[in-house]
Amino acid sequence: MRLLVSNTGPLLHLSEARSLDLLELVGELHIPKAVDIELRQYVSEWQIKRPAWVNADDLFPPHGVEAISWRQVGLLDSGEAEAIALTRQIKADWFLTDDAAARLFAQSLGLEVHGSLGIVLWCAAMGHFSRALDY
């Protein structure tokens, strides 16, 4: 089972597509507190219906400090900075983002990065979808 950390984008996009549960098939999902707060702003039922398999984690030094520095110098927003720092803190297998700048920054740190479309394609490749074609 993979250890995953996501910023807001993939969770928001998969939620809008009613496909958030795909993430549970991929691995153990963690998000930083900033992402949890952002999702409460965008997904009205997030606070009361956040899936039990989504873990909201705190950042600890030195990772919390690096997230603050990345945000202060304008490299990333809070959710992205905290998610990348959390990925490093828990040594996650995959960092999930749909943001190009966050993807490039995370890759420059040696992190494996995937987006929401990558999650859908991975699930399809693993045989998690079945569809009868009607012609």
Q: Is 18 exposed, middle or buried (0-12, 13-18, 19+ CB in 10 A)?
A: exposed
Residue 135's pLDDT is what? 53
pLDDT band of residue 26 (cuts 50, 70, 90) is: very high
Q: Give residue limits of the domains in the chain.
A: 2-125
52-78 pLDDT, tens digit each? 999 999 999 999 999 999 999 999 999
Q: What is the pTM of this model?
A: 0.93
Residues β-bridged to residue 28: 3
Amino acid 24: pLDDT: 96
3-state helix, strand, coil in the chain (%, to 5): 50, 15, 35
Q: Any bridge partners for residue 30, and if so which?
A: 5, 55
**The CATH number fitting domain 2-125, selected from 3.80.30.20, 3.40.50.2000, 3.40.640.10, 3.40.50.1010:** 3.40.50.1010
Mean pLDDT on 91-110: 98
What pLDDT band is residue 129 in, cutting at 50, 70 and 90? confident
- The predicted pLDDT at position 134 comes to 55
